[in-house]
Amino acid sequence: MPDSSFDTVLIANRGEIALRAVEVCRALDLKTVAVYSTADRDAAHVAKADRAVCIGPAPASKSYLSAEALLHVAQGTGCGAVYPGYGFLSENATFARRCGEEGIKFVGPAADTIADMGDKAKARAKAAALGVPVVPGSDGVFTKSEAARREADRIGWPLLLKARAGGGGRGMRVVEAPDAFDKAFGQASREAEAAFSDGAMYLERFFPRIRHIEVQVLGDGRGEAIAYHERDCSVQRRHQKLVEESPSPAVDAALRSRIVEAALSLTRGIRYEGAGTVEFILEPDTGEFFFIEMNTRIQVEHPVTEMRADVDLVAAQFRIAAGEGLDAFVRDDHDQHGHAIEFRINAEDWRRDFAPSPGRIEHWQAPGGDGVRLDTAMGQGLTVPPYYDSMIAKLIVHGADREDAIRRATGALSAFECGGIATTADFHRWLLGQPDYIHGRVDTRWIERTASSDDSRRLSA
């Protein structure tokens, strides 16, 4: 670590990313202050941090989403930096700005960058101005369906309604025909208002069968940036990612070069600082790709890149925040090797429409072996609370090629055991037996089509 203005970090998150941040800080000789809700009193990140402070009751709105409480703890414990992880306040421009006003380093991009990239219309405009291909869509946002309908007729059908401040599939609707537009607009706008206090909607052309491709980037905040090979996040359910892998089965070397260069153009053009992800949709048949958004934080699936490039992206976040340049993180094509796949293990019963399954973990057996990694803060005897995101672990495998990675994943998933609650491990075991997945023929709507064309007995076989 270079000389910096901070030696103590507030870890403003929970679960595996909070535990990971604590461990990385320890390796970098940084002290940590963990925060926790009453539901997370016995959490692993609480036990491993140098200090821990209860920040409020179980509901996230009264604990992990309380910017004032987080800032109060940071100031009271002498923290010079705040690490937001992903989720919660990680992409909240107001919180990042408040940190700066209080003289606390926000480990991430500038507040204005978060605000601009969080506004889909502004992000689209910036990308287009930098020569990055964008999806045909509206130049602005709409709060009334009447005005939006006229723009929809210009863009063409089918189209996608997206919340200006959206994320995780909330405030998003596919509209197949004009007669369904008004109802869908109202539903999406109300959902966005409830989730983000912003009901403004953006319109873009909808492509029925596409792959979701993203590029991991690092920026120094001064206009320099590096990018790694693409990740393919096409195995999704209702816009929620379930599996991520790199490289994409649908991307060859020439296409990869074009996608990576587009991601770099945006990252450099906005003078991005820290770790981020530039996301695209790809039409495999034509090779056309379009920018859809930039996530101004570390991604859940960042270990896929770490496994292939032998880089610690969480440590990179801290080192860049402390003023270090990018030279240590550069990886060329020869440094990024093999194939990596991440499986999100959620506390959900996939046979019951992925219903949440919180509760006490009665039995836990983690897989191991060469090329197998499990990122988690859970274990036997711990309880999965019902208040937060249902992800309890990330199983990442790395092999010489995709076939080898799938083979290792099959073995790792067979060895993984979690008793007492339902998990999506069974879904992943099923997935690895599907010819479409094995041969790389999935798209972002493949799960919905496959599930709707099969019955639960066959899916769980």
**Which residues are annotated as catalytic?**
297
Question: What's the CA angle centered on 441, arms 436 and 446, to 5 degrees?
Answer: 75
Are the C-beta atoms of 113 and 133 separated by less than 8 Å? no
Q: Using CA atoms, how far apart are residues 68 and 428, in angstroms rounded to an integer? A: 40
CB of 67 closer than 8 Å to CB of 57: no
What is the four-CA torsion angle of 278, 283, 286, 287, rounded to 10 degrees? 20
Look at the block and give the residue holding tokens 């929970």: 14
What is the SS3 assignment for 354-405?
A: CEECCEECCEEECCCCCCEEEEECCCCCCEECCCCCCEEEEEEEEECCHHHH
Q: State how far the alpha carbon of 43 is from the alpha carbons of 65, 224, 384, 461, in Å.
A: 18, 38, 10, 35
Query: φ, ψ for residue 171 (rounded to 5)?
Result: 70, 30
Strand partners, 202: 162
- Backbone Cα Rg of the chain: 21
Report residue 162: phi and psi, to 5°: -135, 135
User: Is-contact 136 205, C-beta < 8 A?
Assistant: yes
